[in-house]
A and B are shown apart, each in its own frame.
Chain A
Amino acid sequence: MGKRTVLYDTHVAMGAKVVDFAGFDMPLHYGSQIEEHHQVRLHAGIFDVSHMMVVDVLGTGARDYLRYLLANDIDKMAHRGSALYSCMLNEQGGVIDDLIVYFIDSQHYRVVLNAGSAQKDLQWMESHVNHYALGLQRRDDLAILAVQGPETLALLTALNNPFITDIIHTIARFECAESDDLFITRTGYTGEDGFELIVPNNRVVALWQQLCAAGFKPCGLGARDTLRLEAGYNLYGQDMDESTSPLCSNLAWTVALQPQERLFIGKSALLAEKERGVTQQLVGLVLADKGVLRSHQRVVLADGREGVTTSGSFAPTLGQSIALARIPKGDYKECEVIIRDKAHKANIVKPPFVPFNSSKNS
């Protein structure tokens, strides 16, 4: 038996097929992964993502610490109630994890870490506190729900919950706000507009049930994976890890090399990598033939050079198979992917495969 979120019994009662994910017993789907995928693209779905870890960074040293710890610059967040996506790097420029950091106030930032890397992340973060005046507070008392899809805003508006209904209209994409004991962020991992609700464990079951009654359909981690892949979002541990830098992971845009005087862990390694020339890139593949791309398949380019797929799946919105692949730098338009010893033609594209879908009435 793995670790369980507070909602475990609720998932089982709703018919979830439960699988192990990063040591947690989590819902894979509640009947059909493909239907849940379409539900989020076309309507609205709800995910339990409480396996992710919330850590609060508290103290006068929080800003300076995070500017040293993270490859993106938290000073890009212009005002309180902003959010920023960043990688946390090792000294070699490899990715320890990717995360979102929230700016609550000048002495309070919040980070949300991937479940599979949370323990090592926390150790890494603790080992770099050093002289900074701050404390790290692991918030195991909090659960996280993600409500995602084009009908999300309308359903939350109709919810008639004063703590949610009023505040969601005041936060734009990559912003956050606190309301009562809810922490609401306009972020997600699906390529759709939506919110993530960070909520005390003792309130999450009632909130989940209220949201389901309002029309959000429960969705499992299976749909979450196909949605994020279509949206071109990397998955930590598959598409990048400690041996790959953001520069060869389609994440150069998340690295703030300016201002020059800001030092951060991994910066010198990234500058050296740029100086030598980045040799690899993470690209999107769309399979032209029938079949299904998976991770770890060989990719062969016209000039004989090779790469490898890092994530692959059938894409329900496209009705085709797609993948992310790490290949040598170069201007390639197509490739062959070796599936069970047979070569299949694929087109090389720049992710996302499905463009971000903003809510019409936002």
Chain B
Amino acid sequence: MNTLPQELRYTTTHEWVRIENDTATIGITEHAQSLLGDLVYVDLPPVKKGLAVGDDAAVVESVKAAADVYSPVDGEVIEVNAALNDKPELINQDPYGAGWLFKVKLVGELPLSLLSAADYEAMLNEE
């Protein structure tokens, strides 16, 4: 198992979140992309869409399966990664970098359900 980026927060449903001031960047983890296999389509949320924790925010589809991406935070979508429309494989190649999905302007407190890298890794090791 590759080491997880320590600065990110994670969810039990395999999203990652990068918090910078009041902005959260969201993607799916290395573990999630590896389970899905080659990604071929991404359905991203419209900009300005309001999201609450746990809402369906995006769909990522591999050759094999479709998976919902849930919002890990409360806020409003301010930007989506349009490069994924033509190159969804960026998620496979660089899930924590060029494969990011969307950015949210945070509203209110961060949810307590977000996991640290250590907690997420412990969860993966239990699977």
Contacts and interface: CB of A to CB of B under 8 A. Distances in A.
Contacts of B63: 33-34, 222, 226, 313-314, 316
Interface string B48-73: 00000000000101011010000000
Interface string A1-34: 0000000000000000100000000001100111
A34 B41 contact: no
A92 B40 CA distance: 40
Contacts of A33: 37-38, 63-64
Contacts of B59: 340
B41 A292 contact: yes
A234 to B, nearest CB: 19
Contacts of B85: 290
Interface string B99-124: 00000000000000000000000000
B94 interface: no
Contacts of B40: 34, 292, 314
How big is the A interface, by class? 10 to 19
A294 B38 contact: no
A355 interface: no
Contact of A34 (B38, B43, B61, B66): B38
Contacts of B37: 17, 28-29, 32-33, 222
Nearest to B37: A33
B41 A294 contact: no
Given A29-B37, A33-B37, A34-B38, A291 B64 contact: no
Contact of B64 (A222, A290, A316, A321): A222
Nearest to B34: A17
A321 B66 CA distance: 13
A323 B61 CA distance: 15
Contacts of A292: 40-41, 61, 66
Q: Which residue of B40, B63, B66 has the most chain A CB atoms within 10 A of its CB atom?
A: B63
Contacts of A32: 37-38
Contacts of B38: 32-34
**Best-surrounded residue of A17, A32, A34 (most CB of chain B within 10 A):** A34
A171 B64 CA distance: 35
A122 to B, nearest CB: 30
A292 B60 CA distance: 10
Interface of A: 17, 28-29, 32-34, 222, 226, 290-292, 294, 313-314, 316, 321, 340
Interface of B: 37-38, 40-41, 43, 59, 61, 63-64, 66, 85
Given A292-B66, A313-B63, 12 more contacts: A28-B64, A29-B37, A33-B63, A33-B64, A34-B40, A34-B63, A226-B63, A290-B41, A291-B41, A292-B61, A314-B63, A321-B41
25 contacts: A17-B37, A28-B64, A29-B37, A32-B38, A33-B37, A33-B38, A33-B63, A33-B64, A34-B38, A34-B63, A222-B37, A222-B64, A290-B85, A291-B41, A291-B43, A292-B40, A292-B66, A313-B63, A314-B41, A314-B61, A314-B63, A316-B63, A321-B41, A340-B43, A340-B59
Which 9 residue pairs are nearest across A and B when measured between Cβ atoms? A314-B40, A34-B38, A292-B61, A292-B41, A314-B63, A33-B63, A33-B38, A33-B37, A32-B38
